[in-house]
Amino acid sequence: MEAAVEAEVARRLAEREKQRKDEEAKAKEDAAENSRTNANTIPSGALTPLLKHHKDLDNELMARLQELERK
C-alpha cells in the first residue's frame, strides 16, 4: 500500500513539475513574441487570478497527497 502511495505521489509531482516547465516555456515564448509586438499585451491584473487559482490547486493537491500518505 505504501509503495502504491509513494508511486502515486511521485507520479503526480513529476506531472506537476512537467506542467510547470511547460507553462514556463510557453510564458517565455509568449514574452518573446509580445516583445516583438506590443499589440498582444496582457491587461494589468489579468495574471493574478490565474496564479492564485494555480496556487490553490497546488495546495489542494498537496493536502490530498498528505492525506493519502497518512492512510
Tally of CB atoms within 10 A around 20: 12
Query: Which pLDDT score is estimated for 5?
Result: 87
* pLDDT surpassing 80 at residue 7: yes
Query: Which pLDDT score is estimated for 37?
Result: 61
Contact present, 9 and 66 (Cβ < 8 Å): no
Cell of 32: 518573446
Query: Which pLDDT score is estimated for 29?
Result: 84
Q: What is the pTM for the complete model shown?
A: 0.43
Measuring CA to CA, which residue among 2, 1, 3, 15 is closest to residue 61? Answer: 15
| 23-66 residue pLDDT tens | 988 888 877 776 666 656 677 788 888 888 899 999 999 999 99
